[in-house]
Amino acid sequence: MTAIPTISVDAMGGDLGPEAVVEGIGHALKRWPDRKAHYLLHGDEALLAPLLEKHPKVAAVCELRHTETLVQMTDKPSEAVRRARGSSMWNAIQSVKAGEAGAIVSSGNTGALMAIGKVILRMKKGVHRPAISANWPTPKGHTVVLDVGANVQCGATQLVEFAIMGEAYHSAVFGGDSPSVGLLNVGQEELKGNDTVREADQLIRKSGLDIAYQGFIEGNDISAGGIDVVVTDGFTGNIALKTAEGTARLVAGWVREALTSSLLAKLAAGLLSLGALERLRQRMDPRYINGGVLLGLKGIVVKSHGGADGEGFASALGLAYVMAKSDFMAQIRANLDKFASFEEEQEVVAAS
């Protein structure tokens, strides 16, 4: 019998606090009734216990771990690390370190989550910096984009590491062998882009990595579905992600306006399949793809959007479930080792 995964939850993080967390677990139970999971809720018992009493089905799959302190959304990462010991975020991550949970989910302070994750879980060998992934809906499924905010500036070596982690992540979450990988650039020609992107392109081509590398791709290729993994720095990736989310909300608003602008429009909308409209709504709703994994740590850390409501938090929980059940951590090892060997060889050649 397959073991039921345990997911550790920072129940005090995010703009909406414990309410969104408890509601999120409830939505996850309804959305994926076949996914059996156990949840460790780290937070203030005085706030969480009454919420669990109102949701007995949620309470049945949760274990409450009381803590009186929390990491504020305004805390700087360095300050959070110094003061975070014993907080809901710290304890939630510590549960993964201790082997009690297979993944942790938090809507809290992104910088603090990354800093505390690095302190407690440490970086995987061969990875210099973690990267935040995003699952981008396309006509053919999903494209994984990374980094989307963890690293404003990246060197060529970091971009290669992101490619390795993104490729393994796509396989773990969406299945399939040899997902295609591309470097985001201002054009597909070899001479386009800055020095960092061009150097990363050459490193991937020369290092003999076992990935289906496609070279440079452009911004309009992200949503087209022709590439599975898009690699970029956190500055560019975050702007692209926020632009896409804003566009999705804009188009969703236009559709809603068109279907309610007049009595005739409302009658026409009533003749349409409600199921089809619901599927369209979900595909255009950023909440249904909420959640990014902090790739590169020795443990699975899922970052939910700070403003996520129950529906959005459920999506992050679903991602944590899939990751906890996957063998992602083992999948990236071979290519990281191969790239490390290539770099060592290059250093020897440069020194001789």
For 1-39, how does the pLDDT look when each residue is reduced to its tens digit (9 = 90+)? 358 999 999 999 889 999 999 999 999 999 999 999 999
The per-residue pLDDT for 268 is: 63
User: Domain 1-127+296-331 class?
Assistant: alpha beta
What is the overall mean pLDDT for the chain? 88
pTM for the full predicted model: 0.86
Residue 95's alpha-carbon distances to 72, 155, 264, 299, in angstroms, are 20, 32, 56, 10
Separation between Cα atoms, residue 146 and residue 150, nearest integer Å = 9
Domain at 128-290, CATH class? alpha beta
- The answer to whether the CB of 55 falls within 8 A of the CB of 22 is yes
Separation of alpha carbons 57 and 36, rounded Å: 12
For residues 48 and 11, what is the distance between their CA atoms, to the nearest angstrom? Answer: 8
Report the amino acid identity of residue 11.
A
Q: What is the pLDDT of residue 67?
A: 95
Q: What pLDDT shows up at residue 266?
A: 66
- Quick check: 140 and 222 in contact, CB under 8 A? no
**Mean pLDDT across 307-317:** 94
Q: What is the pLDDT of residue 79?
A: 85
For the chain, give every domain's residue range.
1-127+296-331, 128-290
pLDDT band at 311 (very low <50, low <70, confident <90, very high): very high
pLDDT(236) > 50? yes
Query: What is the C-alpha to C-alpha distance for residues 31 and 23, in angstroms, rounded to an integer?
Result: 12
Tell me the average pLDDT across 52-66: 96
The domains spanning 1-127+296-331 and 128-290 adopt the same CATH topology: yes
Asked if 79 contacts 46 with a C-beta cutoff of 8 angstroms, the reply is no
* Half-sphere exposure for 234 (CA within 13 Å, toward CB): 18
